[in-house]
Amino acid sequence: MNWDAISAVAEAVGAAGVIASLLYLAMQVRASTRAPSVESKLATTRMYTDFLVMLVQSPELNDVFLRGRKDINALGRDDYMRFSNLALIAFSFFSAGYFQYSSKTLNDADWYELRAIVKYWLIGKGCRDWWYKLGHLSFDAPFRQFVESEIAELPEARN
């Protein structure tokens, strides 16, 4: 075997090594960009699950939630404040999810699920009343616009 052949084989092996290294690097970059998305999904799920556990563990609080969602004006002063605080917790969660979606760390499928929860809240007239009276004051303009566009799409809100 002559030196030219050995050199050609060495170059081919070297090129294959570079290609393999680039493929490995691409897989690592892809895996590392997927990690924030997974983390985001877990965080949003944990936040809302914690909220639901709070309602499940307190039938009284759950009752305030259900009555307030239906008609916040029918609540007494203390229950009104409890509902308002529950709504503030929930909408803070929704705002965080909106931010994650806008920042591209929450994917379309996860955003679809979160949006469905937002719509569930907004279907309740008491919740819409809370939003217009108090809730909108606590959030930035992009999130306010999002919530108000969701309200505008509700058949109940158009009447």
Describe the crossing of helices 59-70 and 77-102 by its angle, rounded to 10 degrees. Answer: 80
- Residue type at 147? V
Annotated domain spans of the chain: 36-158
Classified as helix, coil or strand, 154 is coil
- The tens digit of pLDDT for each residue in 38-95 reads 776 677 677 778 888 888 888 998 899 999 999 999 999 999 999 999 999 999 989 9
Element (H, E) at 66: helix 59-70
Give the span between the Cα atoms of 156 and 159, in whole angstroms. 6
- The tens digit of pLDDT for each residue in 84-128 reads 999 999 999 899 989 988 988 888 888 898 999 999 999 999 999
pTM for the predicted model, two decimal places? 0.72
- Least Cα distance to 123 among 48, 63, 71, 81 occurs for 71
